[in-house]
């Protein structure tokens, strides 16, 4: 009987051109398919929960696929990790109901953006956090980012080259916090546009620098103009942190 298996994956995206399969660049999903082919002997189609950009990381990235093989899930996990490169790892494998779709049944996603806020670069965080030497008032930014919460047209916070017409999304939670020298921007929503989280971060940094007023975010959103927002923060600090389904994977 054909089975539907779900892989939960962690990866360092530094060496990859995003998660999707591409003709002229190496993406995460291609590497996963290559490993699956070595384990199963056939090249199965996979369904990914989301797309991530070049250089973006994931602590929870979900893909599902169908197979006729009766391999145990625990053996699938170990076999995949044997064939995957060091920067991509399967943290869990489980059988899911027929019809489960890793993308369409995702109820939301949580992203975390890491900013190393110190007067020196950490040798342990290269390509894993944005180095930002100027002072950050995390309490100010935590208050400011609450204006992202709610259902809004996020045209101003979407890549200008995006071809997506409906840019309305709902943000359910947003915060800026500090753990020592690390400043963390955490945001949860029902979906995200191209570069949306990175532009959110860039906009907050403009507020931190005094180039935008602390309560400017509603005006930025209202303009529906990419030029009204901040820069697109580098991909290195962004992590797909959690994907929400009707059950909890933790």
Enzyme catalytic residues: 53
Interior/surface letters 114-145, b for 16+ CB within 10 angstroms, e for the rest: bbbbeeeeeeebeebbbbbeeebebeebbebb
d(CA 22, CA 210): 40
d(CA 215, CA 75): 52
Contact by Cβ (8 Å): 198, 232: yes
Contact by Cβ (8 Å): 180, 125: no
SS3 annotation, 156-215: HHCCCCCCCCCCEEEEEEEEEEEECCEEEEEEEECCCCCCHHHHHHHHHHHHHCCCCCCC
Give the residue carrying structure tokens 């929400």.
244
């Amino acid at each position: 009987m054909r089975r539907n298996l779900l892989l939960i994956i962690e990866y360092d995206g530094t060496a990859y051109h995003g998660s999707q399969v591409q003709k002229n660049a190496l993406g995460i999903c291609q590497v996963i398919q290559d490993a699956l082919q070595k384990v199963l002997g056939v090249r199965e189609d996979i369904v990914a929960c989301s797309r991530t950009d070049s250089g973006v990381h994931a602590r929870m990235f979900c893909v599902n696929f169908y197979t006729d093989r009766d391999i145990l899930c625990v053996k699938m996990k170990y076999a995949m990790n044997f064939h995957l490169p060091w920067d991509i790892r399967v943290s869990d494998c489980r059988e899911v109901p027929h019809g489960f779709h890793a993308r369409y049944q995702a109820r939301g996603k949580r992203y975390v953006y890491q900013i190393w806020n110190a007067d020196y670069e950490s040798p342990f965080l290269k390509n894993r956090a944005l180095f930002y030497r100027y002072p950050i008032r995390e309490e100010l930014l935590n208050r400011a980012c609450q204006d992202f919460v709610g259902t809004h047209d996020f045209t101003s916070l979407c890549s200008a080259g995006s071809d997506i017409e409906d840019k309305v999304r709902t943000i359910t939670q947003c915060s800026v916090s500090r753990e020592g020298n690390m400043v963390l921007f955490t945001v949860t929503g029902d979906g995200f546009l191209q570069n949306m989280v990175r532009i959110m971060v860039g906009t907050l940094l403009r507020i931190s620098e005094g180039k935008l007023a602390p309560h400017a975010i509603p005006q930025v959103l209202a303009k529906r103009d990419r030029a009204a927002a901040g820069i697109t923060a580098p991909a290195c600090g962004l992590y797909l942190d959690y994907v929400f389904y009707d059950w909890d994977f933790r």
